Structure 1
């Protein structure tokens, strides 16, 4: 039985998952082709690059937003792939003492639908509701396995964030950046897991990091509240690194897909992949390792 093992010694994020799966042999061209079924390709492009993290050659996956002048690296340890939900109707900027300013993505709740009719225009997705994203995934024509996997992961994030902020799932709206990153990371992970014909997913405990992150609402502990909510029932491991190692998207992927947590299972190893995070630590390779084999 084809088994995939997530080795989360440096945490997990959505882009690290995709990078690791590509590094382990998944098909980038197939990923790109399948993602076009979502019909939002005018909003982004994807790219992969080989990078070296503390001596380990790994694959860095990035989503580049076409309507933003800079590359949006929604990556692990920089907190950029937060999909925090807030009942505020504007964009926030989060400030981190060690990284400078990063524009973060947020979900929103709206009571006045008339003010947000633009959310349904094809070329102006300033906000996307959770329900819009569900419909998009269902209408894309993915295989049943890909559709089911993606919807479960998205629901996990939405429910956790809604719980933190006291919002029902139906009222959740993702800001444009967060929606695109979430969709690509989550649907992309499902596409690649299916491409690799993975039957069973197992995982180590998840390193979450330590310290605090500074946002405009104040100082929050690591792991962030939404990430911690998603990781209910998932074993986590202590880390002395003063950084956020597990992001909401990565946490949801491992929480939903993993059938068993523990050490590396007994299996014949077929392929190994390393997915790189953005940040580089002095004495610690910032990568997610996946091990694929036959049990």
Structure 2
């Protein structure tokens, strides 16, 4: 099954999403046919251009509206137009869900009955085209699974029909809330990014996509450009299209974990040691730190934490509370594990627990547990390294002969 991953980390709108598909190779004639099926081909013209945003080349699809009269549509009008068309049942069902979601968000923001909601900026034919065009294109390309990055909330203010509003605008924020979509603030809180995700883009993504980052074999990609070219970030939406099954089917992963990482440059060694100890106590699979060098040649520490997915909230919250970090990078990790078992071993120095490593049922190696060896070293006043050597030699003699 064909899958698509949408990189919306730098922004997403309806036109940027369709632009990314055109950049991937979606024929513009297909989109023009969608406009005809909607019966609005006299009012919409598509213009495709290639450009760049901060050096990244992509495609921008300009949706030019030439309506003879100024008319604002309600979400029910969009649904009626779609339902009266000869588009597929899938497109009708999904686009109706998206339009209704936008209507629900607007009704909750303005404390208005959903049937009385006015769309204002969203009530134009380009909103109709963005939603129907994207959903129809997904069906045309045979994409069965859609994944997406977390959504950037952006910062600053925008001018709207309701006046000057904060970014993200209330309707966008309400859709994020209703759909429980993951989002994040700007990495640099002092930078004004402007609007990075629109209500239309947010509604499309939160309806169609799973907010996850799967392992994929990528066969093609596309880059859609937004209209603005801000200094704060490249105003782009990228897509990657490929296969999920072929990427994973031949790899016998034992577990799926998450890796949390953050750079820390103003924490003492005592605090860092405490954090590592507590993270292990909280159930982290592994914790380590690496010396790094940050901008302006400042020495710092990279804190890495490997966790089970169900402990994400507790452990990420602890990292925010106990360190000075303002952001945590999150990656999905697929881990291969050798077979292992724990057995008690009676050595010449005393009883110890032994971790035995097996591959296809055959003995590979065995390792005495540190705490047991430490206790023996203290009790017998013997260097720990000598305890390890003696016990490991006896372990290998026994298990290599018996397995």
TM exceeds 0.5?
yes
Contact 1:51 1:58 in 2 (8 A): yes
Return the alpha-carbon distance in structure 1 between the equivalents of residues 228 and 183 of structure 2.
21
2:291 corresponds to: none
2:185 corresponds to: 238
RMSD of Structure 2 on Structure 1 (CA): 1.9
What is the deviation of 1:43?
1.5
Return the alpha-carbon distance in structure 2 between the equivalents of residues 229 and 14 of structure 1.
17
1:138 corresponds to: 83
Return the alpha-carbon distance in structure 2 between the equivalents of residues 244 and 4 of structure 1.
24
Deviations 1:225-284 (A, max 9, x none): 1000011201112214511101100110111001x2133x11110111100011112363
What is the deviation of 1:212?
2.4
- The count of residues paired between Structure 1 and Structure 2 equals 238
Gaps of at least 5 residues in structure 2 are 245-403
Return the alpha-carbon distance in structure 1 between the equivalents of residues 159 and 152 of structure 2.
20
Contact 1:27 1:195 in 2 (8 A): no
Return the alpha-carbon distance in structure 1 between the equivalents of residues 25 and 40 of structure 2.
26
2:212 corresponds to: 262
Gaps of at least 5 residues in structure 1 are 68-122
Contact 1:126 1:176 in 2 (8 A): no
Q: How does 1:1-295 map to 2 (within 5 A)?
A: 1-67=1-67, 124=69, 126-175=71-120, 178-215=123-160, 217-232=162-177, 233-239=180-186, 240=188, 241-242=191-192, 243-258=194-209, 260-263=210-213, 265-282=214-231, 284-295=233-244
Structure 2 SS opposite 1:42? coil
What is the deviation of 1:171?
1.7
Deviates more, 1:129-138 or 1:155-164: 129-138
Contact 1:60 1:276 in 2 (8 A): yes
Return the alpha-carbon distance in structure 1 between the equivalents of residues 175 and 10 of structure 2.
18
Contact 1:3 1:198 in 2 (8 A): yes
**Alpha-carbon spacing, 1:273–1:164, altered in 2? closer, same or farther (3 Å):** same
What TM-score results when the alignment is normalised by the length of structure 1? 0.76
Return the alpha-carbon distance in structure 2 between the equivalents of residues 146 and 166 of structure 1.
29
Structure 2 SS opposite 1:19? helix
Contact 2:21 2:222 in 1 (8 A): yes
What is the deviation of 1:125?
6.5
Contact 2:120 2:161 in 1 (8 A): no
Return the alpha-carbon distance in structure 2 between the equivalents of residues 281 and 128 of structure 1.
30
**Alpha-carbon spacing, 1:282–1:127, altered in 2? closer, same or farther (3 Å):** closer
**Alpha-carbon spacing, 1:175–1:9, altered in 2? closer, same or farther (3 Å):** closer
